[in-house]
Amino acid sequence: MSRPATRELLALNTATVREQWTLPEAIEGCARAGIRGIAPWRDQLAEYGTANAARLLRAHGLDVTGLCRGGMFPAADAAGRQRALDDNRRAVDEAVAIAARCLVLVVGGLPPGSRDLAGARGQVSDGIGALLEYARSAGMPLAIEPLHPMYAADRACVNTLAQANDLCDEFGAGLGIALDVYHVWWDPALAAEIRRAGRSRLLAFHLCDWLVPTRDLLTDRGMMGDGVIDIAQIRGWVEAAGYDGYCEVEIFSRDWWARPGDEVLRVCCERILRC
Amino acid sequence: MSRPATRELLALNTATVREQWTLPEAIEGCARAGIRGIAPWRDQLAEYGTANAARLLRAHGLDVTGLCRGGMFPAADAAGRQRALDDNRRAVDEAVAIAARCLVLVVGGLPPGSRDLAGARGQVSDGIGALLEYARSAGMPLAIEPLHPMYAADRACVNTLAQANDLCDEFGAGLGIALDVYHVWWDPALAAEIRRAGRSRLLAFHLCDWLVPTRDLLTDRGMMGDGVIDIAQIRGWVEAAGYDGYCEVEIFSRDWWARPGDEVLRVCCERILRC
């Protein structure tokens, strides 16, 4: 069912080394490590320059597995929603400029002061609808990333793969999914919803691990193999559904941010062989 | 749809004041505050004596909304599962002794070293099946408490109300649900699954709030009104489904554990009027 795990399947989400390395350093680090895919963040493009980043990525022949991130649609008022939409269009442009496979959408949580979760979800649907035509024209797929329910309030109110699939049903072409094992591993419906998503919707596949105990909601994610997620099983489901893209490592961790970037990449390369 | 919120609907889960008060102190604190329902924990019964606790609860005329907790079914081997079953039978006996409305089940997570989440869920189902006849004979309803997905690894692998309803479908009479807003507020299927549960399955209703930011996975739950959960809406759904029991406050919080118990109960009484 699965392809053999090799270093060539590995992509680096630059958040994994964001405290050690600038974007050009991460690009050069990937080249040194023999890692062929990378997913940068927008703040890094702003800092280094999108055109500079595009040139350096091309010079090293790196595949850009995604740009992190668009989304954050819900807002307290119409002006805020318009600002979010404008910013998302710029994110589409940047994703095109660096030839990203998709623009990852972290859709946003509750507007400040709100307890209206259903309303926030409605704003997400409206926001995706408003952005999608622009993204289609630009030829840039949008990838909804369902986030763990512990982020429902402040980061993303799309918290299951079923919700993401429902949005894809609603909007059709140009909308897909970025699946991160950290966010979905607990879901009893995961295997069925991966089958439902299928090859056409699965635009990115992110890896890290769930540590026991988890000491922080944001910055205590684990290196693959150090936690409890059966990554090989989920990868098997994803590949059985037709996904043949990169396995992108995205680890938010104070522990791994404290180590030299080259060491982090070396461990990523070792661990990918085991999952 | 909802009953008027009054102090008479409030029950205290003793975890809310576990750092300040022993069980007899909590019982007497409820009596002082005019709180008529209480849910103790088994370690408190062990410390104070189950018979002593039963006498003091009766003396103050308190309704016992539940005993926390049974469950923790998954284990690494058959001997461990047998120990868990034996302990659960003792928990049923204790719940009977204090005339609890139900024995709350926190079902358990992955056994040490395991990544087999489906296997753990199977062990939970097997464990409930093995316990249920004993509980039925004792006339003690079992209440599965779905826990937030962030506890799937180490506390409970039943993480949605849908899963709990599925288990109730499977086992029938004697099995119900303890619903805690903290664990389920994020679930897009919540309203539908509350309707599905209905009056006969809804055995307990727990309140606290989700704080933004949440600084700790275990001990940073909020007082009702301090977070983002639309408690009144969920309470409306629960009561529309026929629930007419207590609203049980269960707050694990270093902040509230640091305040005098009487003050905590006073704030609980104030806040219940607003949700």
Mutation choice for A interface testing from B117, B160, B163, B211 by most A CBs within 10 A? B117
CB contact under 8 A, B228 and A115: yes
Q: What is the DSSP letter of A209?
A: B
Residues in B touching A116 (Cβ below 8 Å): 230
Longest dimension (CA), chain B: 49
One digit per residue, pLDDT tens: chain B, 275 residues? Answer: 456 656 779 999 999 999 999 999 999 999 999 999 999 999 999 999 999 999 999 999 999 999 999 999 999 999 999 999 999 999 999 999 999 999 999 999 999 999 999 999 999 999 999 999 999 999 999 999 999 999 999 999 999 999 999 999 999 999 999 999 999 999 999 999 999 999 999 999 999 999 999 999 999 999 999 999 999 999 999 999 999 999 999 999 999 999 999 999 999 999 998 88
Residue A51, pLDDT score:
98
Instruction: Provide residues of B within 8 Å CB-CB of chain A.
Output: 110, 114-117, 121, 148-150, 152-154, 157, 159-160, 162-163, 185-188, 210, 212-215, 217, 227-230
Q: Report chain A's terminal Cα–Cα distance, integer Å.
A: 13
* pLDDT confidence of residue A5: 59
- Residues in chain A within 8 Å Cβ distance of B114: 228
Its pTM stands at 0.97
Q: What is the ipTM of this complex?
A: 0.96
Q: How far is B27 from chain A (nearest CA, A)?
A: 33
Best to test chain A binding among B228, B230, B237 (most A CBs inside 10 Å): B228
The CA distance from A175 to A167, in Å, is 8
CB nearest to A213's CB, from B152, B154, B188: B154
What stretches in chain A show pLDDT beneath 50? Answer: 1
For residue B228, give the chain A residue with the closest CA.
Answer: A115
Closest approach of B70 to chain A, Cα-based (Å): 22
Structure tokens that stand for B55 in this block: 């006498």
The confidence score (pLDDT) of residue B2 equals 55
Considering CB atoms only, which of B121, B157, B212 is closest to A154?
B212
Edge-to-edge order in the sheet of strand A103-106: A63-64, A37-39, A10-13, A247-249, A202-207, A175-180, A142-144, A103-106, A67-71
With CB atoms and an 8 Å threshold, state whether B214 touches A217: yes
Structure confidence at residue B4 (pLDDT):
60
On chain A, the residues whose CB falls within 8 A of the CB of B154 are 212-213
DSSP per-residue codes, A175-236: EEEEEEHHHHTT-TTHHHHHHHHHHHHEEEEEE-B--SS---TTTB-B-TTSSS--HHHHHH
Q: Which token pair is A58?
A: 């091309």
Tokens of B120: 């753990």
Please report the pLDDT score of residue A30 as a whole number.
98
**pLDDT value at position B1?**
45
Q: Which candidate from A115, A157, A215 shows the least CB-CB separation from B229? A: A115
Instruction: Please name the residue of chain A whose CA is at the shortest distance from the CA of residue B158.
Output: A188
